[in-house]
């Protein structure tokens, strides 16, 4: 298995490098502190699995995941981060990640995650898996046909799922921050949710984007 690491913390990146190079079934083919020249690196190195940090210079890990999957769908991506917020979890999954593990995950579990993701499966830190399950269990089923969003609200919701901030959504749609806030308020009311994480979870479950 060919592995690439994207991690800006040098100490943590080097610990991951050591973990991979000492594993007989893995080959480290790149380790980077930013996501610059992302597609060129993918093209040149042809990894099987990418370990991706979310908060990294250049495109953030969620945006980078989406770009990699758009151009190289066969590359499997495992998010490795300190973030446990629902919106980041679901935005990562929507972007195409096959795994989501926390940085305090034991070394043997990191290797297990890489192997399972490489094999086409999925792997989540137990606390993350519990959050995903809880979100789906607490969202009422079968409401997709009753949720009527405007075209603009669907666009805003799509960007929310992708992990964009309000300001980034405003820039993408060329509308004001206030208008974005107004759309999101309407979206929350129509989806009967109170947070971005709940909105993302419901959007994914009901295939609204």
Q: What is the pLDDT of residues 49-67, one digit of tens each?
A: 999 999 999 999 999 998 9
Q: Are 11 and 89 contained in the same domain?
A: yes
Q: Are 125 and 151 contained in the same domain?
A: no
pLDDT band at 139 (very low <50, low <70, confident <90, very high): low
Q: Are 69 and 103 contained in the same domain?
A: yes
Q: Are 174 and 96 contained in the same domain?
A: no
pLDDT tens-digit map of 80-97: 999 888 778 888 888 889
pLDDT band at 112 (very low <50, low <70, confident <90, very high): very high
Q: Are 45 and 66 contained in the same domain?
A: yes
Which domain-ending residue is among 102, 118, 136? 136
Assign residue 99 the CATH number of its domain.
Answer: 3.40.50.2300
Token readout for 173 is 């749609």
- If you ran DSSP here, which 8-state letter would residue 59 be given? S
Q: Are 152 and 67 contained in the same domain?
A: no
Q: Are 53 and 83 contained in the same domain?
A: yes
pLDDT tens-digit map of 140-192: 554 444 578 888 999 999 888 888 888 889 999 999 999 999 999 999 888 88
Which domain-ending residue is among 82, 114, 136? 136
Residue 198: its pLDDT value, please? 76
Domains: count for the chain:
2
Q: Are 66 and 124 contained in the same domain?
A: yes
pLDDT tens-digit map of 30-46: 999 999 999 999 999 99
pLDDT band at 200 (very low <50, low <70, confident <90, very high): confident
Q: Are 148 and 125 contained in the same domain?
A: no
- Give me the DSSP letters along 169-191: HHHHHT--HHHHHHHHHHHHHHH
Q: Are 15 and 41 contained in the same domain?
A: yes
Which domain-ending residue is among 76, 101, 136? 136
Q: Are 9 and 78 contained in the same domain?
A: yes
Q: Are 115 and 148 contained in the same domain?
A: no
Higher pLDDT, 122 or 112: 112
Tell me the residue range of the domain where 68 lies. Answer: 2-136
């Amino acid at each position: 298995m060919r592995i690439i690491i994207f991690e800006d913390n040098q100490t943590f990146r080097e610990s991951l490098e050591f973990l991979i190079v000492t594993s007989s079934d893995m080959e480290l083919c790149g380790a980077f502190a930013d996501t610059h020249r992302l597609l060129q690196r993918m093209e040149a190195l042809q990894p099987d699995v990418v370990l991706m940090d979310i908060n990294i210079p250049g495109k953030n890990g969620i945006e980078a995941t989406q770009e990699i999957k758009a151009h190289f769908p066969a590359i499997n991506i495992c998010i490795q981060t300190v973030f446990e917020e629902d919106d980041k979890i679901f935005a990562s999954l929507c972007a195409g990640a096959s795994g989501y593990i926390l940085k305090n995950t034991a070394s043997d579990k990191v290797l297990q995650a890489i192997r399972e993701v490489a094999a086409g499966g999925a792997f989540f830190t137990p606390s993350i898996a519990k959050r995903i399950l809880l979100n789906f269990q607490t969202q009422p089923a079968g409401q997709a046909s009753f949720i009527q969003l405007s075209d603009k609200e669907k666009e805003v919701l799509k960007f929310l799922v992708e992990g964009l901030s309000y300001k980034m959504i405003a820039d993408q749609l060329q509308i004001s921050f206030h208008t974005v806030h107004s759309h999101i308020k309407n979206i929350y009311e129509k989806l009967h949710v109170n947070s971005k994480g709940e909105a993302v979870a419901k959007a994914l479950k009901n295939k609204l984007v």
